[in-house]
Structure 1
Amino acid sequence: MTAPTFTATLTQNPAARSETERAAILADPGFGNHFTDHMFLAEWTPDDGWQDARVVPYGPLQLDPATAVLHYAQEIFEGLKAYAHADGSIWGFRPEANGRRLARSAHRLALPELPLEWFLGSIRSLVEADRAWVPSGEERSLYLRPFMFASEVFLGVRPSQHVTYSVIASPAGAYFKGGVKPVDIWLSETYSRAGSGGTGAAKCGGNYAASLLPQQEAYEHGCEQVAFLDSVEHTWVEELGGMNLYFVQSDGSIVTPELSGSILEGITRDSILTLARDLGHEVVERKVSIDEWRGGVADGSITEVFACGTAAVVTPVGRLAWDGGEVDASHGEIGPVTAAIRAVLVDIQCGRAEDRHGWMTRLV
């Protein structure tokens, strides 16, 4: 069924935070701690398709105990940011790519695909309603979380016949307080994030739930993130719990694990591949074994390791630890290649550098 042209109604929040309350939050928002005054909602059924697009006061969702998502985990989500530029305009970084990935995730989870027009419309509608919540300043942004879930009240293993789509927003401060610092990584040799033919390439909560126990192990070993290997041979590096990986070679080339069906196709990942080529680096997407990572850092053929994701943008990787050993390519500092790529990407997002690739979309 073809979705109708996107239009959304707005119901103002009568209990919206005061300017003083909002200013106090924006002074130090952290990440994922506070939420704006409104949220976006829409519904889908097989007979009526997508309908009832609306921006309403932020508040709890009322779910019946038999709501399908609570039992069968049929849900997906996205993550992207809105940036305030110096002229007061607000821009999104490649939101069209997020909308297309949401559609791919929906297909894999047997959910209805949201038209790109509706995805962009939902983002714009919420940002316009909560424009005052978009923080300004170095590396500050409004984090946007679109998500979709099976909302039919039914117990049975089949695709839901009622689906709810929503967008919420949260002001975000700089990910690294006091400057960018390398993160330490624990190698999970027992657990896998996703398997061949599974949902690894979709952005669904189950993938993240599967990472939490090994993430807890990482904390117990003094590390902040966990690295996962493939689920078949337990040999090939895939990704961190929520970030893609890159390896800078001694000849200046950059290698990243190739997409395998169980690795999330990160939008930041794709952007970095383009920017690295712009900066003169040869970029190679191929399989990377864990022995290549460990041995390359040890013998100097790998000079930097970094990761990327929406929240942190680009993160230098420091120590890789496992039962019986560790290596460290960072020596406690961000490497020059990592720093250069990160600076170019952040400058484009914040409107300080030319957007040569047409990645920025004006939202308001």
Structure 2
Amino acid sequence: MVGNVSRAAIISDRRITGLSADVIAELVAELGPLWHERHQAGLASRQRKRAVGAGAKHRLVFVDRLLATLVHLRHGATYDVLACWFGVDRSTITRAVGEVRPLLAERGCTVSPDVRLRTLAEVVDHLGSGGRTGIVDGTEIRVRRPAAGRKDRDKFISGKSRQNAVKTMVLTDGDGRVLFCSPTKPGSCADITHARQSGLVKLLVDGPSVEILADAGYQGLGAQTGGRVVTPPHRKFKKNAPDWYEEMYERQRKAHSSRRIRVEHGIAHLKNWRALTRHLGRREHRVRGVACGGVRGWAGWGAGWGKRGREVVVKPDAWFYFWGWLCPGRPVVRGVGHPSWSGRGGGCGGGFGGAPGTCDAYAAGDFGRGW
């Protein structure tokens, strides 16, 4: 595992993980207990020859597992590189990323301290309850070419980019803050088909009145949803259009594009995460682990949105409250957490400013040897 100085350097520099120290602190505070609970449940779910807790302890504590996952998603660092960096075996990093990514994906997108959206239905209800406008668009992520002879090998080829890709549907609010990232589909799936299969049409028809802006790839959904999906105006004249029509058409098209462009800003921010630009792992991966875990709301992603907007997330895909040790001079939060996190010696001593004999909620360098 990395030392306390190295860990503090990783957390303090936003360029490494893509998230601020406060966001990482909130992620640890929320996901740490969930990871510990699942880990203990896995140990107790099978027959054992010795008691739970016997044997060697984890060298990679949960804080380091989370940091390794974020670095992998942000920069596409290989597991071998991360294993050398954190001083563990490659299989440990593989297992750590596989455990943390689902936790990030399940978090949903935080749009305010008391509102977290996890499903498409919750997003539609949120937009309808506040009279907000949503923007939908699809984005592609390049993937490895399937092996020769594989069934349906061509279904990953995108008709747009002519490359092997998977596609996800991104839904943002009017400011471009990401609210939802759908599970991925093969690159050959059309945007409008993806929207129908995800249940968006049914939710708009049966749910509250919501205005959803979309590009020309979704033309046809407006009629199916009673005008709730607004697409660019259809061009009625193919040739020799009157001057007055050309002027009107361009004015309407630009008015629509100027509102819809915010979703492109949100998607562009998602692409800051290397895992969402070129994915070298399994093609069946999900975007929600990034979009909901790291990028949150992933995205307050955008200028002038502040910290909460930038949490993703994911993201997606995120994300947080209390590490007094993160910054020198900040008070240490004591008395928070679970006795099993206290490590050896009855407390979370050591680490980034924790006092011996106290449980400084994840603030310890040796931060629960059982983790």
Q: TM-score, normalised by structure 1?
A: 0.24
Structure of higher RCO (CA pairs closer than 8 Å, 6+ residues apart): 2
After TM superposition, the score normalised by the length of structure 2 is 0.23
Greater strand fraction, Structure 1 or Structure 2: 1
The structure having more radius of gyration, on CA atoms, is 2
